[in-house]
């Protein structure tokens, strides 16, 4: 990534949406699903025990146990309806100790749309901290957990995550085959074969 390029480049995030639209034909940005945020709503699902374990670990970390403030999972960055999957564009604030703690509670064989070892490494390197409000890191990490796990019980493909600071995404032209091919080469190994 260009050292003068901002990790919070608005054009990069917009370009990712344009590229996804060019490739898949439809892409919803900032899409809201009516999925609950609290673990009790998932008690009788395949992910219930995992979510409860992660929520407890987050609460034990700094003693902030009431960090789930929203009744619904907050919007995702991008939603591809066909085939259904979510794409998250993770900026530096997503790579915190709280997020590392959640990732350490993911099973080794979890099928996800991002490389867990790389995300753990970024959490250790970046070590983002946001204490306004005091439990903001726990909240952000929890909602990332929900975006990773909840779509699975609704028949979605794994959530794909891109690190904003990995590349100058705004340099890719969505209107050119070269731009879309480079983008697909970048994220292709994060997607199941059927949606590449």
**Structural domain includes residue 184:** yes
pLDDT at 190: 82
Whole-angstrom distance, CA of residue 196 vs CA of residue 191: 6
Could you tell me the two tokens for 128?
A: 């983002």
Taking CA atoms, 88 is separated from 60, 66, 160, 174, in Å, by 27, 25, 6, 18
**Residues spanned by the domain of 76:** 10-195
- pTM for this prediction: 0.93
pLDDT at 26: 92
SS3 125: helix
Task: Tell me the H-state helices in the chain.
Answer: 10-24, 48-62, 97-104, 116-126, 136-153, 177-187
Q: Are 112 and 106 in contact (CB under 8 A)?
A: yes
Place of tokens 């983008």: 183
Whole-angstrom distance, CA of residue 174 vs CA of residue 164: 17
**Structural domain includes residue 1:** no
Taking CA atoms, 156 is separated from 85, 110, 164, 170, 190, in Å, by 5, 15, 23, 27, 14
**Structural domain includes residue 2:** no
pLDDT at 188: 79
pLDDT at 4: 56
pLDDT at 16: 96
**Structural domain includes residue 5:** no
Q: Which residues pair with residue 162 across a beta bridge?
A: 89
**Structural domain includes residue 29:** yes
pLDDT at 176: 87
Is omega for the bond preceding 155 within 30 degrees of 0, making it cis?
A: no
pLDDT in tens, the chain (196 residues): 555 566 678 999 999 999 999 999 999 999 999 999 999 999 999 999 999 999 999 999 999 999 999 999 999 999 999 999 999 999 999 999 999 999 999 998 888 999 999 999 999 999 999 989 999 999 999 999 999 999 999 999 999 999 999 999 999 998 888 999 999 988 878 877 656 5
**Structural domain includes residue 3:** no
In 10 A of CB 14, how many CB atoms?
14
Whole-angstrom distance, CA of residue 50 vs CA of residue 42: 10
Q: What is the count of structural domains for the chain?
A: 1
Which of 192, 189, 191, 173 has its CA nearest to residue 181?
173
pLDDT at 7: 67
pLDDT at 18: 96
**Structural domain includes residue 149:** yes
pLDDT at 39: 96
């Amino acid at each position: 990534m260009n050292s003068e390029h901002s990790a919070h480049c608005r054009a990069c995030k917009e370009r990712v949406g344009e590229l996804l639209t060019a490739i898949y034909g439809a892409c919803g940005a900032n899409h809201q699903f009516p999925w609950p945020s609290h673990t009790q709503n998932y008690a009788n699902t395949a992910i219930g025990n995992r979510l409860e374990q992660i929520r407890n670990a987050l609460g034990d970390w700094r003693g902030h146990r009431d960090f789930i403030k929203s009744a619904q999972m907050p919007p995702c960055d991008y939603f591809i309806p066909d085939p259904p999957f979510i794409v998250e564009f993770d900026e530096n604030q997503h790579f915190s100790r709280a997020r590392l703690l959640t990732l350490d509670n993911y099973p080794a064989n979890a099928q996800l749309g991002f490389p867990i070892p790389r995300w753990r490494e970024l959490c250790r390197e970046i070590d983002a901290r946001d204490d306004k409000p005091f439990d903001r890191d726990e909240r952000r990490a929890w909602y990332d957990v929900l975006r990773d796990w909840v779509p699975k019980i609704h028949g979605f493909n794994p959530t794909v995550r891109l690190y904003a600071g990995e590349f100058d995404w705004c340099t890719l032209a969505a209107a050119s085959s070269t731009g879309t091919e480079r983008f697909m080469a970048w994220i292709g190994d994060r997607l199941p074969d059927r949606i590449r």
